[in-house]
Structure 1
Amino acid sequence: MTAAIRPMVNRDSAYFWEGTLKGELRIQSCNACGVLRHPPGPACPECGALDRGYVVASGLGTVFSYVVHRHPPVPGKELPIVIALIDLDEGVRMIGEVVGDGVAEMVAIGTRLRVDFNRVDDDLAMPIWHVEEGR
């Protein structure tokens, strides 16, 4: 298996990747007005404040949209790959890979997902998504 493609980590996103290493799915919040946002950024899109924080998400969400990638091959990945746009229960959307046996046939718009974390190495854990049990 080849090495994972590493995300860009900067001061806007470092808190997110620090959280994944701890098994937390973090969402940026505005400390001034409380708005949640993803992807993270330097200023609040609602009030313009630069005072950022984060909340730890429940790790649950619903498939808003998805694609099943069947070709061409992707180094280090087994096909098919399911990539979903997930409506988190907290009200923001996030893109993620949905994994598991037979997942390409199981995922549909509205499918409930839960997050897990794939530890790549000491410095990186990637959020991955599974279909919620009983769904």
Structure 2
Amino acid sequence: MTPSWLEWQNPRELCRCNLVYMSLRDFLQCYIDDVYTARNPDAARNYIADPCLRHEHGHLVTMSIEENVARVRDFLALASTTQFDNVVLVDDGAHVVSAYNITFGDGNAVQTVSGVEIFRVVDGKITETWNSSAQPGAWG
């Protein structure tokens, strides 16, 4: 039987231990919290399959987990602070879609970009991502 979210005393423990049993919305939030908010690129190994397909505008990229960890590390190196806000989350049981805002900067200058990503999650791992180019400004 699949445990319900309310059965857990500590939702953060669920993020680390039982990714297969949580809702995709909770899975995505844990991914953001554990990897980006905690600034821990190596934690991506807990969430991203090896390999993982990234559908970019005009092409498809197959990335190993090492390439994904490096991608996250490079992103985090761009700014000393990052904050993700999922403005809209939708899931269909196999995919989760986020319309997001990311605010980042170095303490002196801060900027916000927005975009949309679609994630396919299989057995508790992101196996595919459809990624639109982020645009300046927050969702209106």
* Higher helix content, 1 or 2: 2
* TM-score (structure 2 length as normaliser): 0.28
* TM-score (structure 1 length as normaliser): 0.28
